[in-house]
């Protein structure tokens, strides 16, 4: 006589929850937002959903533990990364949130988009500001122009020197979606003061990405000379950035600026301030252009 055994497999339904089953009273995640600048720069996940329990335990990928912040609710949990989220290799990771008698899960994308390339937009900066990297953007083409130095002052006998032009840099940088980039546009160097004891023009301000502005022009001075007339040395232009993919030093004293596409004819940026036969003037400001 054959014997038959009935084997019962009992599965706890809460452990098999999907978001669609949240209506049954089980926990489910509906969305996750990554903030790379939160938590002192380490980043944090904002987890939204339904029916969350108390004392959640949050893991991501290969057992990376995140620390839930206090104040979580049945629909909202904020979990902090213990190391920078930017260290994760771009891709999709399994997020698991465990409660006392159940858990729920969700797929989270970190870093660059997996959707492919293509350009999304252009942003220019005529003054310093902040740029939030859009979703699905992993690289940005950056064009940086340093500011020109100011022209030197006139002391009544000798004209000052013209300021140096700002340098130029062109690079592609890696970024993370929703990262906040600080954009610094260098201000043109102030002109020197015309007086018996004239002053030098001030250096042009550096633009972001370690970009150098032009030097200020020297002031006129009472020098004892034996032959020839006085001529002050032209101020140097901004130095090229050795870390950039493409970079050019600014033109020395009286450095002409850069003519940019889309600006009126004759309009430039980064030129050094004038002196020596001209009213001493401030240097031109820098400029930043982002293509992403």
Query: How does pLDDT run across 174-200, given as a tens digit for each residue?
Result: 888 888 888 888 888 777 777 666 667
> For the domain that residue 79 is a member of, what is the CATH number?
2.60.40.10
Of 152-156, 244-248, 283-287, the least confident: 152-156
Whole-model pTM: value is 0.54
Residues 54 and 186 both lie in one domain = no
Beta strands (DSSP E) in the chain are 28-35, 44-50, 57-60, 64-68, 76-80, 91-98, 103-110, 122-125, 129-132, 139-145, 168-174, 180-183, 246-248, 258-259, 268-269, 287-291
Query: How does pLDDT run across 208-241, given as a tens digit for each residue?
Result: 643 344 555 544 433 222 223 333 456 677 777 7
Query: How does pLDDT run across 27-72, given as a tens digit for each residue?
Result: 999 989 888 878 887 889 999 999 998 889 999 988 889 999 988 8
Residues 159 and 78 both lie in one domain = no
| Final residue belonging to a domain, choices 67, 83, 110 | 110
Residues 143 and 169 both lie in one domain = yes
| Final residue belonging to a domain, choices 88, 110, 132 | 110
Is residue 146 a part of any domain in this protein? yes
Residues 163 and 26 both lie in one domain = no
Domains held by the chain: number: 2
Residues 277 and 209 both lie in one domain = yes
Read off the pLDDT band of 93 (50, 70, 90): very high
- For residue 257, what are the domain limits? 112-292
Query: How does pLDDT run across 265-277, given as a tens digit for each residue?
Result: 777 777 766 666 5
- Are the C-beta atoms of residues 119 and 292 closer than 8 Å to each other? yes
Rg (CA), the chain: 30
The C-alpha atoms of residue 16 and residue 152 are separated, in whole angstroms, by 75
């Amino acid at each position: 006589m054959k014997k038959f055994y009935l084997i019962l497999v009992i599965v706890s339904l809460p452990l098999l929850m999907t978001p669609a089953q949240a209506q049954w009273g089980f926990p489910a995640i509906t969305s996750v937002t990554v903030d790379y600048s939160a938590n002192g720069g380490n980043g944090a996940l904002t987890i939204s959903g339904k029916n969350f329990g108390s004392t959640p335990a949050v893991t991501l990928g290969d057992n990376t533990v995140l620390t839930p912040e206090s104040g979580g609710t049945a629909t909202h949990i904020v979990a902090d990364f213990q190391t920078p989220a930017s260290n994760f290799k771009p891709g999709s990771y399994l997020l698991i949130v465990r409660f006392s008698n159940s858990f729920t899960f969700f797929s989270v994308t970190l870093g660059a988009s997996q959707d492919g390339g293509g350009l999304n937009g252009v942003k220019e900066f005529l003054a310093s500001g902040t740029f939030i990297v859009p979703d699905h953007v992993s690289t940005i083409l950056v064009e940086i122009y340093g500011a020109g130095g100011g022209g030197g002052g006139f002391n009544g006998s000798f004209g000052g020197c013209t300021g140096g032009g700002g340098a130029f840099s062109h690079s592609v940088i890696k970024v993370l979606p929703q990262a906040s980039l600080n954009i610094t546009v260098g201000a043109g160097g102030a002109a020197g003061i015309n007086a018996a004891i004239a002053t030098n023009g001030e250096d042009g301000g550096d633009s972001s990405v370690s970009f150098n502005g032009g030097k200020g022009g020297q002031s006129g001075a009472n020098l004892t000379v034996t032959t020839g007339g006085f001529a002050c040395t032209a101020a140097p232009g901004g130095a090229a950035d050795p870390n950039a993919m493409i970079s050019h030093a600014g033109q020395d004293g009286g450095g002409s600026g850069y003519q940019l596409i889309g600006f009126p004819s004759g309009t430039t940026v980064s030129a050094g301030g004038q002196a020596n036969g001209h009213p001493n003037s401030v240097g031109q400001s820098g400029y930043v252009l982002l293509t992403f």
